Amino acid sequence: MSEIKFDDKGLVPVIVQDAVSNEVLMMAYANQESYDLMLSTGFTHFWSRSRGQLWKKGETSGHVQKIASMHLDCDGDTILVRVEQEGVACHTGAPTCFNEPLYGSDASTMAVLPDLARVIHDRKLHPKEGSYTNQLLNNEDKRLKKVIEEAGEVALACKGHDKQGEIWEVADLIYHLMVAIEGNEIDMRAVYAKLAERRK
């Protein structure tokens, strides 16, 4: 195993990523002791530069991070930790600490997927009158039929080489599949594990 290169203050940056969505949640620092605690407890621990002390993420809020995996970068000076996030990651109450736009837009990036998943989950917890998502969540037959229907429409658009139709129908299929995942409480980490078996 490669050796971690702590800086002259004995710290190493830690990037925390959601294990299911791959969304970047936060960035903090670890020293040797907090790193050792992560390995021994399975939960994220960091070193607070402002308070000058160790802290366990979510110790007071309950928004703990259970570690799924840890990786060291090629230079050995940054750690990537994938976690199962309980609650939200940011102290502001936001799901992720990275909310301040500086350049461009994430509208055409994969960042849309965790945002959409949160909306679908929120509809399940807090139904809205007239919500199409709630109609699907409340009717299993309709929910599952839409997955079949949209998959067929994707195939037809692809067969017809209809580029705009492909985009539209793939978006429809992804949305309806995400509603099915939420409605049937499918464990995506188990799905990923199954996909990993097919990664050859």
φ, ψ for residue 179, nearest 5 deg: -65, -40
Using one digit for the tens of pLDDT, what is the confidence trace for 89-143? 999 999 999 999 999 999 999 999 999 999 999 999 999 999 999 999 999 999 9
* 112-197 topology per CATH: Helix Hairpins (1.10.287)
CATH superfamily of 12-85: Phosphoribosyl-AMP cyclohydrolase (3.10.20.810)
Concatenated DSSP letters of 151-169: HHHHHHHHHTT-HHHHHHH
pLDDT in tens, 137-195: 999 999 999 999 999 999 999 999 999 999 999 999 999 999 999 999 999 999 999 99
**What pTM value is reported for the model?**
0.88
Tell me the domain boundaries of the chain.
12-85, 112-197
Query: Which residue type sits at 122?
Result: D
Q: Which residues pair with 17 in a beta bridge?
A: 24, 82
